Amino acid sequence: MEVVMHEASTVNDENNSSESGVKYNGGSVEKPVILPQYEGTERSTFTKLEQTIDIQFENICYTASLGFRKGTKQILHDINGRFPPGQLIAIMGPSGAGKSTLLDILSGYRIRRVSGTVRTNGVPRNLKTFRKSSCYIQQDDRLQPLLTTSENMQIAADLKLPPEINKTEKNKTINEILKLLSLDKTARTKASGLSGGQRKRLSIALELVNNPTVMFLDEPTTGLDSSSCSQCIKLLKDLTLEGRTIVCTIHQPSASLFQLFDQVYVLAAGRCLYQGSTKNLVPFLEDVKHPCPAYHNPADFVIEIACEEYGSEVIDEMVKAADNGKSLTYFNKDVYPALNRYLGGNATTEENQEDLNDETGLQATSSMNQLKVLLRRGYIKTKRDQTLTYMRLGVNAIVGLMLGTLYWGAGNDGTKVLDNYNLLFSILMHHMMSTMMLTILTFPNEMSILIKEHFNRWYSLKMYYLSVTLIDIPISVVCCFIFSVIIYYTTGQPLEEDRFTMFFIISMLVVFVAQSFGLMVGAVFNVINGTFLGPTLSVPMMMFAGFGVTLNDLPPYLYWGSYISYLRYGLEGIVDAIYGMDRPTIYCPEDQYCHYKYPKKFLQDVAMKAGQFGNDVIALLITLFFLRIVAYVLLRYKLMAVR
């Protein structure tokens, strides 16, 4: 460790600038620092750092909103701190102290209701530039469960590494990372089959692909046994050796785990009560006259203090001694040269206020490449998720057969025209409910992965959204076709190519509109709320479809409802496909009365005009595009709102 910091201090301080043009005081290493353990060995491609980053934060406050008219709550109170490069830093504190909030702010994930300044290498942070050289690994492992370790890595490499890097180099990097993280033996195991520790390591491996200079990890040891915990922390420690700054939150580390960290930052109710090296924690406690009892783990003791077990005055005294994080007295002497290099600038300087919503240029590869890789991943997932794929095919075939048996031959029987009308509406209901509910139930699960990958700059939201739109088309078309063929033939609809094509087009459009509607709900609400809202919001669509209460019978002040009901256009279009286009008289058994043997009379009675098919298709297409755009806007809003 010593070597890293001393060597880093010899770095040329002059001609450095960030990508945004912000002049650094220094920090960019011209040649990578070679540590003694690496000398004479072939260097890993991914471990060579272009620069080191020193993080300083001043007067950070965060106020959470408690909801409409419920006021606010201050979580972080004017805290300060310094995280030099090449250090493994633990943010410790009792539950609710504000550890995750601080990590969210430092990583740039949380941007609203935050005040104070974050500096990188002595100058106010440019968030866009900072995000390009950092990553944030959140507490829950957000992995693609159906992809193997190596597939997950391959996708990450294809999205995060620039196009100049060829396949061989990518594979070399992947193999090196997998080996370093002892994941090489599980390369062919699906992520769903990995142990907790392996999943955690895979989460780290995925973000290591593009060699970040700063890594933030929220509780990387949660849920791991003690041996996996120390394995994970030792690995992080190794990663700091080249000059990375690694910051993680941790609840209450054991004594052995605690001493693996270089530096510790202790929070109590949003205030800093200690900042310095792990070794200096005991002297600090002695200095503030609250010495750690013999044979007591200092980490446990400081957490007990932070939990107010020794009274709130003790916390106040310690916050005062640590100057709420301003004091650097208890840092290890080794880091002094690095600390001196970026002496705190003018504390009143504001952090660069670039457009925080601007995501352009953050990704490493072109939009086309992002779409290609995301479609590849989507294809593998669909292929692997056989239960869902077969279930979708099976449900369409079975429901088709059931309805076909129930309405056997109704399409060609003058006595059953009203039954057939019921069937046509049931077909639309099937398409609407099955597609919408599937999207509402599956999309929220994808959201957490999307939030992580999008924040870590794997892809743009536009390309993700486009891939989600495209990837489902083939399976939706196949399901709809199977259903349509079965139902069309079993229920004896007119065997004319044109009519079947029209019937299929309307079915497909209703499927896609319902899917967009589900996407809109799924983008904003969780599964429980979405499951309630989806069907509830569909009721007005059914009411205004013109089925039951015909369009002629709708009160004038409610007629607007029929314009926004996509089922109205679906029903009109599908009825036109079966009974429009001057369909001749329908067969009527001699001994029976057929009220609707003339299709025109039927169309008149149900208030459906013939020849509206084209208009209905246009109306459904407009609804489809409108809902897709609204769903995209809501998704974008959701991604910003969580920050």
Ligand X SMILES: Nc1ncnc2c1ncn2[C@@H]1O[C@H](COP(=O)(O)OP(=O)(O)OP(=O)(O)O)[C@@H](O)[C@H]1O
**Residue number with CB closer to ligand X (274 or 544):** 274
Instruction: Give the separation between CA 146 and CA 375, rounded to whole angstroms.
Output: 15
**Residue number with CB closer to ligand X (86 or 220):** 220
Token pair recorded at residue 90: 């633990």
* 75 CA to centre of own chain: 25
Of 47, 56, 100, 278, which one interacts with ligand X (CB under 6 A)?
100
Residue 207: what are its φ and ψ, rounded to 5°?
A: -80, -20
Instruction: Give the separation between CA 482 and CA 390, rounded to whole angstroms.
Output: 13
Helix (H) or strand (E) holding 236: helix 226-240
**Residue number with CB closer to ligand X (91 or 423):** 91
Q: Which stretch binds ligand X (CB under 6 A): 92-100, 288-296, 318-326, 514-522?
A: 92-100
Tell me the closest approach of the beta carbon of residue 67 to ligand X, in angstroms.
Answer: 8
* 99 near ligand X, rule: CB under 6 A: yes
Residue 594: what are its φ and ψ, rounded to 5°?
A: -115, 100
**Residue number with CB closer to ligand X (114 or 635):** 114
Of 66, 111, 356, 537, which one interacts with ligand X (CB under 6 A)?
66
Q: Please report, in angstroms and rounded to a whole number, the separation of the first and last CA atoms in the chain.
A: 35
Instruction: Give the separation between CA 35 and CA 242, rounded to whole angstroms.
Output: 7
Tell me the closest approach of the beta carbon of residue 604 to ligand X, in angstroms.
Answer: 58
* 213 near ligand X, rule: CB under 6 A: no
**Residue number with CB closer to ligand X (114 or 181):** 114
Tell me the closest approach of the beta carbon of residue 153 to ligand X, in angstroms.
Answer: 29
Of 23, 73, 595, 609, which one interacts with ligand X (CB under 6 A)?
73
Helices marked H in 335-385: 336-341, 367-384
Q: How far is CA 92 from CA 239, 270, 288, in A?
A: 20, 11, 19
* 220 near ligand X, rule: CB under 6 A: no
**Residue number with CB closer to ligand X (111 or 470):** 111
Contact of 169 with 209, CB cutoff 8 Å: no
Within 251-270, the residues that bind ligand X by CB under 6 A are 251
* 7 CA to centre of own chain: 39
* 271 near ligand X, rule: CB under 6 A: no
Residue 358 is classified by DSSP as -
Of 95, 227, 360, 536, which one interacts with ligand X (CB under 6 A)?
95
Tell me the closest approach of the beta carbon of residue 117 to ligand X, in angstroms.
Answer: 20
Contact of 525 with 533, CB cutoff 8 Å: yes
**Residue number with CB closer to ligand X (525 or 547):** 525
Q: Which stretch binds ligand X (CB under 6 A): 5-13, 88-96, 122-130, 208-216?
A: 88-96
Contact of 374 with 459, CB cutoff 8 Å: yes
* 302 near ligand X, rule: CB under 6 A: no
Binding pattern to ligand X, positions 235-254, x when CB under 6 A? --------------x-x---
Token pair recorded at residue 234: 């030792």
Helix (H) or strand (E) holding 460: none
Of 153, 139, 103, 104, residue with least CA distance to 458: 153
Of 56, 87, 101, 263, which one interacts with ligand X (CB under 6 A)?
101
Of 442, 574, 567, residue with least CA distance to 514: 567
| Size of the residue set binding ligand X (CB under 6 A) | 14
**Residue number with CB closer to ligand X (251 or 372):** 251
Contact of 288 with 318, CB cutoff 8 Å: yes
Residue 1 is classified by DSSP as -
Q: How far is CA 48 from CA 45, 173, 209, in A?
A: 6, 12, 12
Q: Which stretch binds ligand X (CB under 6 A): 96-104, 183-191, 426-434, 553-561?
A: 96-104
Within 360-389, the residues that bind ligand X by CB under 6 A are none
* 97 near ligand X, rule: CB under 6 A: yes
SS3 197: helix
Of 96, 394, 540, 589, which one interacts with ligand X (CB under 6 A)?
96
Tell me the closest approach of the beta carbon of residue 250 to ligand X, in angstroms.
Answer: 9
**Residue number with CB closer to ligand X (269 or 505):** 269
Instruction: Give the separation between CA 586 and CA 400, rounded to whole angstroms.
Output: 23
Within 106-165, the residues that bind ligand X by CB under 6 A are none
SS3 60: strand
Q: Which stretch binds ligand X (CB under 6 A): 94-102, 437-445, 571-579, 620-628?
A: 94-102
- Where does this chain bind ligand X (CB under 6 A)? 64, 66, 73, 75, 93, 95-101, 249, 251
